[in-house]
């Protein structure tokens, strides 16, 4: 039935002429991909390594002769994490650069704003750098997401602690934005399964530099587990402030904070912080084989450790390459999307997470992991989380 | 140089100074109207953004440029306009032609309230007060839950005027252009009326204006109202251009961008708002062309756009505080009076302003 719907959608699009050119971004010897990410704004810490990872895999593929005789090209634009800028650059990518597909576009509000017209223009939105559920739902032939949603991440986090160690007074410290809202939603939804309620909930904005009032509220409520539904900086601030006040519940956060800067922040104050993530942040030291080669060659090219976002960027292009290989020399958007849908046993070469898609499943990574900071380093506490 | 022989006071309030000027503006308008014939969709969308930002800039120009009240909160009114318009369209199925003016009016009334409260403040204090309005509005919209869609935002329907779908770039472009021209005429008209002159009098010296019998409090609030109406109108149009609105879209950064826009354009002139909008919207496009010739290490580094933007801004503040339009008038004047140009022609005469600087 879904196949039929997909086919119908394509027919409709072809009929209205939206895909009249069909092969936008594809020439005899080149496939042009595009992305918009944050290279100089508040999320540059995500965007810059991502861009490097994307470029690195593209360069590798090109050095190895490209795909079916075509070289890959990726055009990366900076949004500064502002929706207006994102609209402008996406407009440029779609209309001037004539990209074949959008890969790893960063930011939930940006994706939500751009996706409708992008899909109408027949440009697939592949693996956006956002773990919002709208990235794959409602099901659309043009939408493929990599991550499991923020909501899922937090539901799995709640379920994990319910089974391992239990808790009695769960609390939420939420960042006032759409990601924070989705994360907090996961906590309340999962707690409802156990007939539990959130004991205390605080909200802070991204620009706040003092979390004292939030932390005091949480402390007075006597929370024994605090779900940090937020970003990088506020997570560090809440945990560090709590340590200073002698308030030490279990802290659990989501994938946004999964980076070295968080693990090493505030002189070891982050030790014991838990995090639920759909991807694995691999270290060159603990890896072997292909993963080790990738991590080391990244460090060689960019002169720094391969950040998890760079690993994601690398994997995104790798997945695209797999689909393009399978789609063959006679490339069409339908063929490419069908090939993506047929990916069922892909294993991420760096983190080892398995990725699969299907006619009714446009969300790639299946299982979640629980990471934990130990001695200023991220370690893996558990794999295969679910709820 | 052409000197106009003044025969009546009516000449002072004419729309165009002389026939030559009228010819040029009408020519520009004709080119702009014909633009969809020779520009592709990408540039039409960019120009639509220019027009919308210019409308918001015109509003801010009335407030800051004419009545002399600095505002870091213009994006708040843009947000109110965008949200009101979207909510009216999607939830209450109000026709587009009605919804847009209502949105502008709602933003205007909020602006009026703000103006009444902030009317007694000056300089730094006014800046802080308006800044806090920008922050509070963003948080309120985000925290309002399902009504505004919270932080998650709302998706914006297509423009539909009396059953006519405005769904292609050139249609949106023309619509925005028409509204933009209308706004310019309104502001141009405002500067020729009693209220416009009262605002300028208040800007130049509040004490003198009061001494001459101007109702200072009223006209200050009135300036806020007009400014917010324009912002709300721009917000409604911007919502369509964005397709999806979230409170973050209209954050503090956007307010500051709007203020920078009129400073770069040339504060206190209608041209300034338009030039500034061109600058803000088209600079990234121009930079993307520049990047092609730059070495890839520079071009792919993240902060390039911000750096270029900052440097250009710095250049303007240091060397041309009158902005793009100020530079243009100087160049124009230089050729007009050649070889008799003297720098002093543009020196600021009103030194008495200094006494009121720090209030």
Distant-in-sequence, close-in-space partners of B87: CB < 8 Å, separation ≥ 6: B147, B148, B154
Q: In this structure, is the dihedral angle defined by the CA atoms of residues B31, B33, B38 and B42, taken in order, positive or negative?
A: positive
Whether A186 is covered by a domain: the verdict is yes
Structure tokens at A55: 């470029």
The answer to whether residues A268 and A336 touch, using CB atoms and an 8 Å cutoff, is no
Same structural domain, A75 and A184? no
- In this prediction, residue B302 carries a pLDDT of 64
Say what percent of chain B tops pLDDT 70. 95
Residues B52-58, mean pLDDT to the nearest whole number? 95
Task: Return the HEC string of A338-380.
Answer: HHHHCCCCEECCCCCCEECCECCECECECCEEEEEEECCEEEE
Determine whether the interchain pair B300/A44 forms a contact, defined as Cβ–Cβ distance below 8 Å: no
> Which of the residue ranges B24-38, B281-295, B344-358 has the most confident prediction, judged by mean pLDDT?
B24-38
First to last CA, chain A: 28
Residues B307-326, mean pLDDT to the nearest whole number? 86
Q: Chain B contacts of A46, Cβ < 8 Å?
A: none
Whether A165 is covered by a domain: the verdict is yes
Rounded Cα–Cα distance for residues A365 and B332 (Å): 63
Rounded Cα–Cα distance for residues A287 and A289 (Å): 7
Whether A235 is covered by a domain: the verdict is yes
Residues B320-324, mean pLDDT to the nearest whole number? 86
CATH number at residue A266: 3.40.50.2300
What is the per-residue pLDDT across B246-275, written as a single tens digit (0 to 9) for each? 888 888 888 888 988 998 998 888 999 999
Same structural domain, A268 and A300? no
Nearest chain B residue (CA) to A302: B297
Same structural domain, A380 and A303? no
Q: Could you list the pLDDT tens digit for every one of the 387 residues in chain A?
A: 444 444 444 444 444 334 434 578 898 899 999 999 998 888 888 899 999 999 999 999 999 999 999 999 999 988 888 888 898 899 889 988 899 999 999 988 899 889 988 998 899 999 999 998 889 988 999 999 999 999 999 999 999 998 887 888 999 999 888 888 899 999 999 999 999 999 999 988 877 888 888 999 999 999 999 999 988 888 999 999 999 899 989 999 999 899 888 888 878 888 999 999 999 998 877 888 888 899 999 999 988 889 999 999 999 999 999 999 999 888 899 999 999 999 988 988 888 888 999 888 899 888 899 999 998 889 999 888 888
The structural domain count of chain A equals 2
Q: Chain B contacts of A95, Cβ < 8 Å?
A: 40-42, 45
Band (B348; pLDDT cuts 50, 70, 90): low
Determine whether the interchain pair A88/B151 forms a contact, defined as Cβ–Cβ distance below 8 Å: no
Same structural domain, A158 and A138? no
Distant-in-sequence, close-in-space partners of B194: CB < 8 Å, separation ≥ 6: none
Q: How far away is chain B from the Cα of A90, in angstroms, using its nearest Cα?
A: 10
Please choose, from the candidates B263, B187, B199, B271, the residue with its C-alpha nearest in 3D space to the C-alpha of residue B229. B187
The answer to whether residues B50 and B103 touch, using CB atoms and an 8 Å cutoff, is no
Determine whether the interchain pair B302/A113 forms a contact, defined as Cβ–Cβ distance below 8 Å: no
DSSP state of B351: G
- In this prediction, residue A37 carries a pLDDT of 93
Q: How far away is chain A from the Cα of B346, in angstroms, using its nearest Cα?
A: 36
Same structural domain, A33 and A131? yes
Asked if omega into A138 is within 30° of 0 (cis), the reply is: yes
B139 interface with A at CB cutoff 8 Å: yes
The answer to whether residues A181 and B247 touch, using CB atoms and an 8 Å cutoff, is no
Same structural domain, A119 and A194? no
Determine whether the interchain pair B242/A44 forms a contact, defined as Cβ–Cβ distance below 8 Å: no
Please choose, from the candidates A203, A111, A197, the residue with its C-alpha nearest in 3D space to the C-alpha of residue A158. A197
Rounded Cα–Cα distance for residues A314 and B130 (Å): 44
Band (B350; pLDDT cuts 50, 70, 90): low
Nearest chain B residue (CA) to A52: B300
Rounded Cα–Cα distance for residues B218 and B280 (Å): 32
Rounded Cα–Cα distance for residues B68 and B301 (Å): 39
Residues B338-349, mean pLDDT to the nearest whole number? 76
Domains of chain B listed by start with CATH number: 40-291 (1.10.3470)
Q: Chain B contacts of A34, Cβ < 8 Å?
A: none
B241 interface with A at CB cutoff 8 Å: yes
Write out residues 146-185 of B within 8 Å (CB-CB) of A.
150-153, 155
Whether A364 is covered by a domain: the verdict is no
Determine whether the interchain pair A112/B244 forms a contact, defined as Cβ–Cβ distance below 8 Å: yes
Helix axis angle, A108-120 relative to A178-193, nearest 10°? 100
Same structural domain, A226 and A334? no
A80 interface with B at CB cutoff 8 Å: yes
Q: pLDDT higher for B306 or A27?
A: A27
Determine whether the interchain pair B305/A178 forms a contact, defined as Cβ–Cβ distance below 8 Å: no
Rounded Cα–Cα distance for residues B66 and B62 (Å): 5
What is the rounded (10 degree) CA torsion for B260, B265, B268, B269? -150
Determine whether the interchain pair B143/A40 forms a contact, defined as Cβ–Cβ distance below 8 Å: no
The ipTM is 0.77
What is the per-residue pLDDT across B96-133, written as a single tens digit (0 to 9) for each? 999 999 999 999 999 999 999 988 888 889 999 999 99
Please choose, from the candidates A143, A140, A146, A148, the residue with its C-alpha nearest in 3D space to the C-alpha of residue A124. A143
Determine whether the interchain pair A95/B242 forms a contact, defined as Cβ–Cβ distance below 8 Å: no
Q: How far away is chain A from the Cα of B55, in angstroms, using its nearest Cα?
A: 16
Rounded Cα–Cα distance for residues B108 and A288 (Å): 63
Same structural domain, A303 and A267? no
Residue with tokens 């380093």, as numbered in its chain: A377
Rounded Cα–Cα distance for residues A52 and A72 (Å): 15
Task: Return the HEC string of chain A.
Answer: CHHHHHHHHHHHHHHHCCCCCCCCCEECCEEEEEEEECCCCCCHHHHHHHHHHHHHHHHHHHHCCCECCEEEEEEEEECCCCHHHHHHHHHHHHHHCCCCEEECCECHHHHHHHHHHHHHCCCCEECCECCCHHHCCCCCCCEEECCCCHHHHHHHHHHHHHHCCCCCCEEEEEECCHHHHHHHHHHHHHHHHCCCCCCEEEEECCCCCCCHHHHHHHHHCCCCEEEEECCHHHHHHHHHHHHHCCCCCEEEECHHHCCHHHHCHHHHCCCCCEEEECCCCCCCCCCCHHHHHHHHHHHHHHCCCCCHHHHHHHHHHHHHHHHHHHHCCCCCHHHHHHHHHCCCCEECCCCCCEECCECCECECECCEEEEEEECCEEEEEEEEECC
Q: Chain A contacts of B139, Cβ < 8 Å?
A: 176, 205
B40 interface with A at CB cutoff 8 Å: yes
The answer to whether residues A211 and A266 touch, using CB atoms and an 8 Å cutoff, is no
Write out residues 98-127 of B within 8 Å (CB-CB) of A.
none
- Maximum distance among all Cα pairs of chain A, rounded to whole angstroms: 66
Rounded Cα–Cα distance for residues B315 and B279 (Å): 14
Whether A361 is covered by a domain: the verdict is no
Residues in chain B: 359
Band (B289; pLDDT cuts 50, 70, 90): confident
Nearest chain A residue (CA) to B241: A87
B248 interface with A at CB cutoff 8 Å: yes
Who among A80, A91, A114 is closest to B45 (CB)?
A91
What domain range is A335 assigned to?
Answer: 2-147+287-356
What is the per-residue pLDDT across B85-105, written as a single tens digit (0 to 9) for each? 999 999 998 999 999 999 999
Same structural domain, A29 and A137? yes
Rounded Cα–Cα distance for residues A74 and B78 (Å): 35
A48 interface with B at CB cutoff 8 Å: yes
Whether A200 is covered by a domain: the verdict is yes
Whether A214 is covered by a domain: the verdict is yes
Determine whether the interchain pair B285/A92 forms a contact, defined as Cβ–Cβ distance below 8 Å: yes
Asked if omega into B339 is within 30° of 0 (cis), the reply is: yes
Give kind and range of the element (H or E) at residue B244: strand B244-245
Give kind and range of the element (H or E) at residue B245: strand B244-245
Q: CA B357, B114, B350 angle in degrees (round to 5)?
A: 20
Q: Chain A contacts of B40, Cβ < 8 Å?
A: 95
- CA A337 to chain centroid, in Å, comes to 20
Same structural domain, A170 and A143? no
Same structural domain, A24 and A130? yes
Whether A160 is covered by a domain: the verdict is yes
Same structural domain, A154 and A140? no
Q: Chain B contacts of A49, Cβ < 8 Å?
A: none
Please choose, from the candidates B279, B153, B38, B74, the residue with its C-alpha nearest in 3D space to the C-alpha of residue A110. B153
- In this prediction, residue A9 carries a pLDDT of 44
pTM: 0.83
- In this prediction, residue B357 carries a pLDDT of 45
Who among B42, B150, B246 is closest to A91 (CB)?
B42
Who among A55, A87, A177 is closest to B248 (CB)?
A177
Rounded Cα–Cα distance for residues A54 and A76 (Å): 9
In B143-234, beta strands by DSSP E: 154-155, 159-161, 164-166
């Amino acid at each position: 039935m879904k196949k039929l719907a997909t086919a119908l959608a394509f027919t409709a699009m072809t009929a209205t002429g939206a895909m009249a050119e069909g092969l936008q971004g594809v020439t005899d010897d080149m496939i042009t991909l595009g992305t918009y990410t944050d290279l100089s704004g508040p999320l540059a810490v995500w965007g810059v390594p991502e861009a490097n990872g994307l470029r690195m895999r593209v360069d590798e593929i090109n050095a190895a002769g490209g795909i079916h005789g075509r070289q890959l090209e990726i055009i990366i634009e900076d949004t500064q994490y502002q929706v207006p800028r994102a609209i402008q650059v996406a407009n440029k990518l779609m209309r001037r650069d004539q990209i074949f597909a959008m890969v790893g576009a960063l930011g939930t509000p940006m994706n939500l704003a751009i996706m409708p017209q992008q899909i109408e223009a027949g440009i697939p939105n592949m693996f956006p750098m956002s773990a919002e559920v709208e990235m794959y739902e409602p099901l659309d032939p043009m939408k493929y997401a990599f991550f499991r949603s923020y909501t899922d991440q937090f539901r799995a986090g709640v379920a994990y602690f319910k089974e391992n160690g239990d808790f009695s007074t769960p609390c939420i410290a939420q960042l006032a934005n759409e990601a924070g809202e989705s994360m907090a939603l996961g906590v309340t939804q999962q707690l409802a399964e156990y007939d539990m309620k959130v004991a205390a909930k605080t909200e802070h904005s991204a620009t706040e530099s003092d979390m004292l009032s939030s932390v005091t509220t949480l402390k007075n409520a006597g929370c024994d587990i605090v779900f940090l539904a937020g970003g990088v900086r506020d997570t560090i601030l809440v945990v560090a402030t709590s340590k200073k006040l002698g308030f030490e519940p279990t802290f659990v956060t989501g994938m946004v904070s999964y980076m070295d800067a968080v693990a090493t922040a505030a002189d070891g104050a982050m030790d014991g912080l838990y995090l639920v993530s759909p991807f694995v942040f691999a270290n060159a030291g603990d890896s072997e084989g292909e993963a080790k080669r990738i991590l080391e060659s990244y460090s060689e090219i960019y002169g720094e450790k391969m950040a998890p976002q760079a690993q994601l960027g690398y994997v995104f292009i790798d997945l695209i390459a797999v689909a393009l290989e399978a789609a063959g020399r006679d490339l069409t958007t339908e063929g490419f999307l069908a090939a993506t849908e047929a990916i069922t046993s892909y294993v991420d070469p760096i983190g080892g997470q398995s990725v699969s898609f299907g006619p009714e499943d446009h969300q790639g990574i299946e299982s979640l992991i629980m990471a934990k900071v130990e001695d200023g380093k991220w370690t893996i506490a558990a794999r295969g989380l679910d709820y | 140089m052409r000197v106009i022989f003044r025969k009546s006071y009516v000449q002072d309030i004419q729309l165009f100074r002389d026939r030559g000027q009228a010819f040029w503006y009408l020519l520009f308008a004709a080119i702009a109207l014909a633009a969809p014939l020779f520009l592709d969709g990408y540039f039409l969308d960019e120009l639509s953004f220019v027009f919308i930002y210019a409308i918001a800039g015109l509003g801010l120009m009335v407030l800051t440029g004419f009545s002399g009240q600095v505002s870091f909160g213009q994006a708040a009114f843009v947000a109110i306009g965008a949200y009101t318009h979207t909510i009216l369209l999607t939830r209450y199925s109000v026709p587009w032609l009605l919804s847009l003016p209502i949105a502008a009016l709602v933003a205007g009334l909020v602006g009026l309230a703000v103006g009444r409260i902030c009317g007694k403040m000056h300089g730094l204090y006014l800046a802080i007060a308006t800044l806090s309005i920008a922050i509070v509005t963003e948080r309120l919209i985000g925290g309002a839950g399902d009504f505004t869609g919270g932080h998650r935002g709302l998706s914006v329907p297509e423009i539909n005027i009396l059953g006519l779908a405005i769904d292609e770039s050139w249609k949106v472009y023309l619509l925005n252009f028409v509204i933009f021209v209308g706004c310019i005429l309104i502001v141009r008209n405002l500067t020729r009326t009693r209220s416009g002159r009262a605002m300028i009098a208040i800007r130049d010296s509040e004490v003198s204006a009061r001494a001459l019998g101007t109702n200072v409090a009223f006209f200050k609030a009135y300036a806020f109202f007009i400014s917010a109406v324009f912002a709300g109108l721009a917000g409604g149009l911007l919502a369509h251009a964005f397709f999806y609105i979230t409170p973050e879209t209209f954050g503090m950064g956007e307010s500051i961008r709007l203020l920078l826009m009129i400073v770069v354009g040339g504060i206190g002139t209608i041209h300034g708002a338009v030039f500034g909008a061109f600058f803000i919207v088209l600079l990234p496009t121009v930079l993307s062309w520049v990047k092609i010739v730059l070495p890839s290490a520079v071009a792919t580094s993240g902060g390039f756009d911000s750096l270029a933007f900052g440097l250009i801004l710095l250049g303007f503040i240091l060397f041309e505080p009158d902005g793009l339009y100020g530079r243009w008038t100087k160049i124009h004047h230089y050729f007009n009076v050649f070889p008799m140009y003297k720098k002093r022609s543009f020196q600021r005469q009103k030194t008495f302003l200094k006494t009121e600087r720090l209030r």
